[in-house]
A and B are shown apart, each in its own frame.
Chain A
Amino acid sequence: MKVIACYSMKGGVGKTATSVNVAYMAAQSGLRTLLIDMDPQGASSFYFRIKPGRKEVGKRFFNADKALYKQIKASDYPNLEVVPAQLSFRNFDTFLSNLKKGHNRLNKMFKGLNKEYDLVVLDCPPTISYLSEAIFSAADFIFVPVIPTTLSERTYEQLLQFFKENGYSKKILVPFFSMVESQKALHKNTMESMRRRYKRFLRAVIPFSIDVEKMGEHRAPLETFARHRPANKAYQALWREMYQVLGAF
């Protein structure tokens, strides 16, 4: 089983759209996939029409994995299940902070899922917190959507800095460009300069697209209603590259 996270310190960069579409494509390709919506706003749960769970996951330490297990819900699509957002993932953060080696806790929780799933996709909240640190140590790869603007570039640098200072391996960070408006010179130039500086950027580029926004209306992955549109093609290309990065299952 592989665990991947979609993470950015900045909000509104396309994390959720990526998690939803990538999880869907992975499931379609035959991987038994679990999407965990860790963002209390619950956008990816919303896209799959799944109501947020009520029971609190983080409260009881010893039963955390069991509680998580109980939250799993079937999506409308084969091979894809979802843990909807828990308002209490917020508490989870405090809970992790109170534990020694709190960030290993998530690792343990995921181990229990090993037999059931090939891939776990984490849709993360846009913060740096104990929860995100737990995610950094639990995930095999962290995919970071980056809007090619000066501000986003700074945010990415800050993330790299944080990784360096806290001893996380930079190798697991895999950035890609998101919400790109190719007609904008700023976007073009930033992409060029960032690609020169950071070799790990994926080739696939997710365009800014009205279709992605429409996901909220359709409450479904792009593939189901905008299959042949450029945005979906971009996500397909992204998933193919991610699959390469993940290596053998």
Chain B
Amino acid sequence: MNNLLPGFWQLEQQAGITGVRQALADKFSVEEVASETALITVLDDYDWDIWQADCLLVVTPQKKYRLYQADKLVTEQPCKTAVRFWWDFPQGELHEQLKSLIDLRAILPVVVFESSRHDFVLRNSDEKIIARLAMHSYAPHAEDMQQAEPAAGSHGKFLVLQPLRGYHKEFRQAADCIVPLCSQQFERLSFRSQLALCGIEPPHTKPAAGFDLSAEMPTEQAVRQMSVELLHRARSNEPGIIDDVDTEFLHQYRVNLRKVRSLIGLMKKAVPEDLFLRMKPALAELSSVTNALRDLDVFLLEHDYYQNLLPENFTVGLKRLFKMVAGDREKARKLVLKSLTSERHQVAYDEVIGLLDAEPLYQSALADKPLLKVVNKKILSRYRRICALGAEINDTTPDHEVHQLRIEGKKLRYLMEFFAELYPKKRIRKLIKPLKEMQTILGNFNDYSVQKKFLAEYENSHKKSVELSAAIGGLVAVLHQKQIEQRSKVQQAFERFGGNEIHNEFELMFGKVPEGKAL
């Protein structure tokens, strides 16, 4: 019993069921055997990560969540309670799939449409079924739009003709009847592709990694251009922060601001000194109002992790701790909200953008030098500095030196990622990968410090109870153990990155290139 592949067509806009039935009536008797209409809501996160992964998540009015992947329905999960994040779904396939698709992002309704499906059977003169035909139609449902940027969409009608074994001739005959009514034929046509043909598509694309750079452009121009772009990326997250959609908006906001700061810091000899001096505090201010909220977010996101770290008798204290943190988070959110919607914020932003979005002044040493040359030099010298630092590190090196290595690593990683488009993709990725691996270990080591510090400060600044102190004390102790464990991996982490193979590749790729020779 093998499944034969169906034929797919898109119907002309003016054609409908009656037309299709009439077209087939000469050769076959057509009987409608089932039909269904439903209001279907497509769900996705802000960046349409589900859609971009060639998947589709929809929810029916009966609160059945369906996830499609390419042509297949992967899973269906009824869920009566409100869902916003993957962890709101009960354990199971959907829970797992969404975890990898959207990570920390919230699921939002992105488009609502009315979908209808009519199933027909085609019979020959013996009244034997010789093919099955399904017609799917979609129409955008305007009233239910809840999103700020509605995805455009128009009507669409599609036919799926399923051949039956042993009736190929009849299938071809039926197809011939249908073709004149159709605008296009497809070899495959998933649910998602049908919606795409109805004009449903992401309202914005995920910011591309690139900055439109060229090897020869003056460095100051590049830095200005990149900073402005990063600031726009940061700002595009503000509505999500204000509506408190998910924690990723704030995170991305901060990441992009940090990148601008880092970029200008790393390339300060390419921008006017005055600009550098003014940008530093201005950017710090934009970002610092969100510090407290981010710390609290990070702690709350680790809820399950923390719960698993401590034995059961700490549950009461831990619960109380989370409740308190959640309350503080709400307060911090209100402060951020107030700040982001204030006029002062708007003015500060305009000022920063105004400073950056201007013609280059070419006052500083590297300002007019070609970008690739400058970046090559920077990357290589950073790498050499890391090697020198890393070589000193062993199991007894003081923590602050380990942190120093992490900070240098981060700067190098930013440099390589900012300017990745200037280099062959595969080669640069091959170097970024081991750097990332080293940074993960160093990052974990650092995170434990940050978490310990957060908890210690939290305990000092809040009213304590015995249970609460016990929970905090317990967490700090476990985190400390974890940090020690992580510390023992540090030396090993550096060894690969500082090793001969990578060292040679760095020298080769970013070292002096003889005139006229391409990379």
Name A residues whose Cβ lies closer than 8 Å to a Cβ of B. 32, 34, 48-51, 71-74, 76, 79, 81, 116-117, 219
Do A79 and B1 touch across chains, with their CB atoms under 8 A apart? yes
A71 / chain B contacts, CB cutoff of 8 Å: 166
Give Cα A34 to B167, complex, Å.
16
* Among A72, A76, A117, contact of B128 (Cβ-Cβ < 8 Å): A76
Q: Which residues of A contact B121 (CB under 8 A)?
A: 76
| Pair A49/B165 contact, Cβ less than 8 Å | no
Q: Is the Cβ of A81 less than 8 Å from the Cβ of B167?
A: no
Chain A residue at minimum C-beta to C-beta distance from B121: A76
The answer to whether B126 touches A74 (Cβ under 8 A) is: no
B164 contacts the other chain (CB 8 A): yes
B129 within 8 A of A: yes
Contact A49 B126 (CB under 8 A): yes
- Minimum-distance CB pairs A-B, first 3: A73-B166, A49-B128, A74-B164
Q: Report B18 CB to chain A, min CB distance, Å.
A: 25
What chain A residues lie within 8 Å of B129 (beta carbons)?
Answer: 74, 76
Interface residues of B (CB under 8 A from A): 1-2, 121, 126-129, 164-167
The docked-state distance in angstroms from the alpha carbon of A76 to that of B165 is 11
The residue on A at minimum CB distance from B126 is: A49
Given the contacts A32-B1, A116-B1, A117-B1, A81 and B128 also touching, CB distance less than 8 Å: no
Complex contacts, B164 vs chain A, CB 8 Å? 73-74
Q: Is the CB of B127 within 8 A of A74?
A: no
The answer to whether residues A51 and B126 also contact, given A71-B166, A74-B164, A74-B167 and a CB cut-off of 8 A, is yes
Q: Quick one: closest A residue to B164, CB to CB?
A: A74
Contact A81 B165 (CB under 8 A): yes
In contact, B126 and A72 (Cβ under 8 angstroms): no
Which residues of the other chain, A, contact B2 by a CB distance below 8 angstroms? 116
A49 contacts across to B, CB distance below 8 A: 126-128
Q: What's the Cα separation between A72 and B165 when bound, in Å?
A: 7
Whether B127 contacts A72 by the Cβ 8 Å rule is no
Contact B128 A50 (CB under 8 A): yes
Beyond contacts A74-B166, A117-B1: 8 other A-B pairs, Cβ-Cβ < 8 A, are A50-B166, A73-B165, A73-B167, A76-B121, A76-B128, A79-B1, A81-B165, A219-B127
Nearest opposing residue in chain A for B165, CB measure: A74
User: How far in angstroms is the closest Cβ of chain A from B285?
Assistant: 67
Closest to B4 in A: A74
A-B contact pairs, 17 of them (CB 8 A): A32-B1, A50-B126, A50-B166, A51-B126, A72-B166, A73-B165, A73-B166, A73-B167, A74-B164, A74-B165, A74-B166, A74-B167, A76-B121, A79-B1, A81-B1, A116-B2, A117-B1
Shortest CB-to-CB span from B339 to chain A, Å, is: 62
CA separation between A50 and B165, bound complex, in Å?
12
Chain B residue, CB-CB nearest to A220: B127
Which residues of the other chain, B, contact A117 by a CB distance below 8 angstroms? 1
C-alpha gap A25/B123 in the complex (Å):
23
A contact residues around B167 at 8 Å (CB): 73-74
**Residues of chain A within 8 A of B1, CB atoms compared:** 32, 34, 79, 81, 116-117
Give bound CA distance, A204 to B129, whole Å.
32
List the B side residues contacting A73 at CB < 8 Å. Answer: 164-167
In the complex, A73→B126 CA distance in Å?
14
Report the bound CA distance from A117 to B121 in whole Å. Answer: 25
